[in-house]
Amino acid sequence: MGIGGDHPVSRFDDAALSRFRELVRHRPAVEIEAPQHRRAAVLIPLVRDHDGGWSLLFSRRSDDLPAHAGQVAFPGGAVEEGETLEEAVVREAEEEVGIPPAAVELIGRLDDLITNSGFLVAPFAGILHERVEYVLQQSEVTEVFEVPVEALLDPRNPEVRYVPFHGRRYPAYFYHFGAYEIWGLTGRMVKSFMDLVWQAV
């Protein structure tokens, strides 16, 4: 499933990005108190695409990882001792896909999420103001790809499916772009991100 056809798609241009930036900046993130879970931070990177619009950068996790193997993800990982969430998110982005910390402007924090694998995740929206040469951490990341925000604004996204977990079925968000299927924790983060984008376009 992709974009196109008879479905009108809103434009996420620089003006919409400015409105989005203000929304994220002034909206307090929901912070979960769950000290039993390990802290993690994730970057939702906005990058300028070749058409002058904006895309989100995703990675695909290695098939050999013990958790979330092969799934589409954002750059991110566990927070180290003595590290702030903001420090962790830019460090992980550099380690996993080679984004220099100086190239990232963090523009706001989204609501905390708890993963099935026991992490308490703080997502951060960030802007890459320049194109970078991605360098993948081969042990964790097999590829990176960009999805135009317009594709995520398509009315057919997201698809909601019920998936089994521990004997019960739960609703999950699935975003489609070409051959890629974005769901799980990343689908939940995209949904939170896109709820704000819809207010900005």
User: Could you tell me if residue 185 is inside a domain?
Assistant: no
User: Which pLDDT band holds residue 140 (cuts at 50, 70, 90)?
Assistant: confident
Number of domains within the chain? 1
Residue 200 falls inside a structural domain: no
CA distances from 81 to 38, 40, 187 (A): 11, 11, 28
**What's the pLDDT at 129?**
86
Of 65-69, 118-122, 146-150, the least confident: 65-69
Q: Tell me the whole-structure pTM to 2 decimals.
A: 0.91
pLDDT at 2: 43
**Any domain includes 172:** no
Q: Could you identify the residue written with the tokens 């790809």?
A: 145
CB 118 within 8 A of CB 32: no
- Domain membership of residue 165 (yes or no) is no
pLDDT of residue 11: 86
Q: Is residue 1 predicted with pLDDT exceeding 50?
A: no
Give CA–CA dist 71/112, Å, rounded. Answer: 20
Higher-pLDDT residue of 102, 63:
102
Residue type, 170: Y
Distances (CA, A) of 52 to 11, 45, 47, 155: 11, 16, 10, 22
CA-based Rg of the chain, rounded to a whole angstrom? 16
Instruction: Report pLDDT for 61.
Output: 82
Q: Quick check: is 88 in a domain?
A: yes
pLDDT value of residue 67: 57
162 in any annotated domain: no
Tokens 């994730």 locate to: 42
- CATH number for the domain spanning 96: value is 3.90.79.10
Q: What is the pLDDT of residue 138?
A: 84
Specify the pLDDT at position 113.
96
Question: Which pLDDT value is given to residue 139?
Answer: 83
Residue 138 structural domain: 14-150
Label residue 105 by pLDDT band (50, 70, 90).
very high
Q: Confirm whether 161 is domain-assigned.
A: no
Q: Residue 101 pLDDT > 80, yes or no?
A: yes
In a domain, 89, yes or no: yes
Mean pLDDT of 131-137: 92
Residue pointed to by tokens 């951490």: 137
Query: What does pLDDT average to over the chain?
Result: 90
